[in-house]
Amino acid sequence: MADLLRVAPIGAIAGCMALALAGCSKKQDDKPTETASTASHSAATSGTPQTGSQEGKMGKLQISTTAFEHQGAVPKKYTCQGDDISPPLAWSGLPDGTKSVALIVDDPDAPDPAAPKRVWVHWVLYDIPPTVQSLPEATKQAPAGARDGKNDWGRAGYGGPCPPIGRHRYFHKLYALDTVLGDLGSPTKAQLEKAMQGHILGQGELIGTYQKE
């Protein structure tokens, strides 16, 4: 370095120093600035619950019954071979901001679990007020404020398991919504799902199984 200083003209040395300073300034200016999208990605990967998560300040949305265990056998009384009444249901953990709750019960194994061809809908219920957190056994009428949809028998209310062959699964799906959907005119499952799009805050699921004796 001493040899360089002895042989380099003063003007050249000054030029080198100016370039060095400019380089330092560029490195500082090139430091990435966090944008709104970067901040959003950071939140998404940090474990912070995002919109639509099943977890909120009240915890995870859960649905249960005293009639059978999750993925256990549905008792005969709740099927077409028994009294064909709905099982008692209860739920907890509705996310903050829940304005209504919807329930869909369906069977994805129809007609034969070995070769399923369609989903059979057993119950459609929506606009359940968030203050209602259970349905009693043998529910025949929608709770006050709630509305009935249409099952695949073409009627309102519950229709129990009645599988033609094999052991089927029956999904009891509960949805917490950020809105009250209003009168949809006795919607089918597909119509209700379309109306719920963009409004689901959380979802809980209970599965029972049944095979005819």
Q: What is the pLDDT of residue 212?
A: 97
Q: List for the chain the helix, strand, coil content (%; round to 5).
A: 20, 30, 50
On the question of a cis peptide bond just before residue 111, with omega within 30 degrees of 0, the verdict is: yes
Q: What is the pLDDT of residue 16?
A: 39
Instruction: Round to whole Å and give the CA distance between 189 and 150.
Output: 7
Q: What is the pLDDT of residue 40?
A: 33
Instruction: List, run by run, the mean pLDDT of 10-residue segments along the chain (213 residues).
Output: 41 43 40 36 31 42 98 98 98 97 98 97 98 97 97 98 98 98 97 98 98 95
Q: What is the pLDDT of residue 134?
A: 98
Instruction: Round to whole Å and give the CA distance between 101 and 161.
Output: 23
Q: Which CATH architecture has domain 55-210?
A: Alpha-Beta Complex (3.90)
Q: Note the helical H segments in the chain.
A: 2-7, 10-29, 36-45, 189-196
